[in-house]
Structures are given as structure tokens and as C-alpha cells.
Amino acid sequence: MPKHFVYKTTGTCSTEIHFDLDGERVKNIRFVKGCDGNLKAVSILAEGLTVDQIEEKCKDIKCEHRSTSCADQLAIAVRNAAAGLGQLL
């Protein structure tokens, strides 16, 4: 049974990331606020990937002058959820 998580982002235009964790697979990714088109693409491209795959592809990506990005925040969110540190709804 998938578990639903909400992650409060920091340092990005998006404010939250909603997603389901079904074992190691991440599904139903949705960003709140931020660059709508880009974040829809990130959500579609990451759909069904494992936590490790998302971390491998998205971790440490920077956005402009920021030290993070929405993709980096997604990597952090799914790793935290997999480790039992996410906010479960």
C-alpha cells in the first residue's frame, strides 16, 4: 500500500512536494507553486523511479544563484521519506 508524503521545500520557488512512496518507487509527484511547466516535466520524468534513481539524477542540481533546486529538493524529500523522516499524511 503506497504512503502519501508532503515535503516542505526550502530555498526554492515551490513550497511543497506531494508524492506517494510505494516500496522504493515514487509515484504521483506534485509540486506546489514554482515553475509550472518545468515541474510538471520533472514530475512526469521521475514518475515510477526508485528513490535511488531520483537521488542519482536530481541530487545537487542548483537553480540560478540558489544552493538547491526543486529537483534537488525532490531527491531530499524522497530519501527522507524512505528513511522514515518524511511527513506522512
Q: Which domains does the chain have, with CATH numbers?
A: 3-88 (3.30.390)
Q: Which three cell numbers stand for residue 46?
A: 521521475
Query: Across the chain, what does the average pLDDT equal?
Result: 95
User: Which H/E stretch holds residue 8?
Assistant: strand 3-8
Q: Does the pLDDT at position 88 exceed 70? A: no
Give the number of C-alpha atoms closer than 13 A to the C-alpha of residue 5, restricted to the C-beta side: 28
pLDDT digits (tens, 9 = 90+) for 57-83: 999 999 999 999 999 999 999 999 999
